[in-house]
């Protein structure tokens, strides 16, 4: 697959008016192909595989919050990065998820072609599915390079998206506690 993608990058470099055989660009199609494969590696993963059974019994029924998980994704419209952070909270119902797995879930969905709203939704649904929690809240704050480097060229705007499930949706106090904790 790498060779196939590299071949296309060679054509793109040529179409952009560059010489793909000059010294600095000679290995670029292959490097770019590998980088793009890494940034899209989420298509090769499944939720079951990354969670790897790391679900533990627990009687806690208080909110658990994992804050400031850094996030790098590619917007599906321009294939340019969007960069930010993700906050995930849930209300356990008899079981908790291994801490590192929240970051793995974020990465699996971020390493696909995305829009921020769908990414937020997919992370929330995945946490809900693996934990069976009484509620899940996900907030993503991100800056989109397609809006900064090109297009409208706005350097300081960021986008916040959120998905609230179960108790976070039904109970304003729970939602408020989550929002206070992340701010």
Quick check: is 146 catalytic? yes
Of 18, 48, 76, 170, which residue is the catalytic one?
76
Sequence-distant (6+) residues with CB within 8 A of 23 are none
Strand partners, 131: none
Quick check: is 116 catalytic? yes
Residues 94-113 that bind ligand GTP (CB under 6 A): none
132 binds ligand GTP (CB under 6 A): no
At 180 the three-state DSSP class reads helix
78 belongs to an annotated ligand binding site: yes
Around Cβ 82, how many Cβ atoms within 10 Å?
25
Residues 134-163 that bind Zn ion (CB under 5 A): 146
77 binds ligand GTP (CB under 6 A): yes
Least Å distance between CB 183 and ligand GTP? 22
- 166-183 residues labelled b (16+ CB within 10 A) or e (exposed): bbbeeeeebbebbbeebe
Sequence-distant (6+) residues with CB within 8 A of 146 are 75, 77, 78, 80, 82
Q: Which residue is nearest to ligand GTP (CB)?
A: 151
Q: Which residue ranges make up the site for Zn ion (CB under 5 A)?
A: 75, 77-78, 146
Q: Enumerate the known binding-site residues.
A: 75, 78, 146
Footprint of ligand GTP on this chain (CB under 6 A)?
Answer: 75, 77, 115-117, 144, 146-147, 151-152
């Amino acid at each position: 697959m790498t060779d196939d993608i590299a071949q296309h990058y060679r054509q793109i470099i040529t179409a952009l008016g560059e010489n793909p055989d000059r010294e600095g660009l000679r290995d670029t199609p292959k490097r770019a192909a590998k980088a793009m494969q890494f940034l899209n590696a989420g298509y090769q993963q499944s939720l079951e595989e990354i969670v790897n059974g790391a679900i533990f019994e627990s009687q806690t029924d208080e909110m658990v919050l994992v804050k400031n998980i850094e996030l790098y994704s590619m917007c599906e419209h321009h294939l340019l990065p969007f960069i930010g952070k993700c906050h995930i909270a849930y209300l356990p119902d008899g079981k908790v998820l291994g801490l590192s797995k929240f970051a793995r879930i974020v990465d699996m969905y971020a390493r696909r072609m995305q829009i921020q709203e769908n990414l937020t939704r997919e992370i929330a649904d995945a946490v809900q599915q693996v934990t069976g929690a009484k509620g899940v809240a996900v907030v993503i704050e991100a800056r989109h390079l397609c809006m900064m480097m090109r297009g409208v060229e706005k350097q300081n705007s960021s986008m916040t998206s959120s998905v609230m499930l179960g108790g976070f949706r039904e109970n304003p106090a729970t939602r408020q506690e989550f929002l206070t904790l992340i701010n």
